[in-house]
Each structure stands twice: as structure tokens, then as C-alpha cells.
Amino acid sequence: MTNDELHAQMVSAMKAKDKTRLSIIRQVMAEVKNIEVNERRDATEEDVTASIRRLIKQTSETLEMSEKAGNNQERTDTLREQVKILESLLPAQLAGEELVQLIEQKIAELGVTSKKEMGKVMGALNKATNGNFDKAAAAKEVGARLS
């Protein structure tokens, strides 16, 4: 998601009067703005995605603690909703047939033949998709294709 797309999402949340979604999008935009200010450059799509992932991790950890405490159900529900909103902002993960095709392509490109070199294939997949793929399914598939 680009910065412009994020801004458009914010405008639509304002029009829909969706306070929770608006709050989350503003948090992401603040993270992106920090990157732009601190590093004195325009934020890239990867920066936006990394900011969203960081906020998902933080919110998920808070949600986990709230569930363990079990004393404020309203807060727990709000945190769950925030995590869902953040996940909806991420691009769709590569999976299924598309992932299998990319794995086959990377194995052929790298000329990998043994499981010892599985890390090379996973690294190439990570680089090609910016980490946006089902890692467990990819590892299983790569392992099955290598002897």
C-alpha cells in the first residue's frame, strides 16, 4: 500500500465516520511520517507495509495480554477489531498455485538440488515477495521438491 492509498483510506474512513478504522490509519500514517522525518526521504511502499506489520505485532501483543488478564472484554474486542483492520491494510499474501510457480522458478534460477540449500530458495522468495507469502506452506513445498 502506498502513502497515497493510505490517505485515500483515511478519507473514506472519515466519510463513513468509522472512528476505529480512522484511528488505526492515523497511527500507520504517523509511523510513516516518522520514517520520512527521521530518514529525510519519502516513504516507500515497503516502509508502509513494514509500519503496518510493526503495528500488527504491537497490537497483537497487547491483545494477548488483555486476553490473559481477562478483566476488560470491551478493550479486548476493540484490540481484536484493530488487528483485523491492520491486516486488511496489508497486501494479499502469495499462496497456492502462484506460490508453487514462484518456488519452481526460484529453484530453477538458483540451480538448487539439496535440502541443505533450502535457505537460498526461501531467501529468494522473501526478496521476490517482500516477505509477503505463506512461509510454512512455502517451506513444506520447497522441502518436498528438494531431495
CB 100 within 8 A of CB 90: no
Output the pTM of the full model.
0.71
Whether residue 147 is predicted with pLDDT greater than 80 in this model: the reply is no
- Domain coordinates in residue numbering, the chain: 3-89, 96-145
Tell me how far apart the alpha carbons of residues 117 and 110 are, in angstroms, rounded to a whole number. Answer: 10
For 105-137, the pLDDT digits (tens) are 888 888 888 888 888 889 888 888 877 887 888
Q: What does the chain come to in residues? A: 147
CATH ID of 3-89, from 3.40.50.1970, 1.10.1510.10, 1.10.10.60, 2.60.40.10? 1.10.1510.10
Burial 86-103, CB ≥16 within 10 A → b, else e: beebeeeebeeeebeebb
Which cell goes with 146?
528438494
Whether residue 36 is predicted with pLDDT greater than 90 in this model: the reply is yes
Which of 9-13, 50-54, 91-95 reaches the highest mean pLDDT? 9-13
96-145 placed in CATH 3.30.450.20: no
For 60-70, the pLDDT digits (tens) are 999 999 999 88
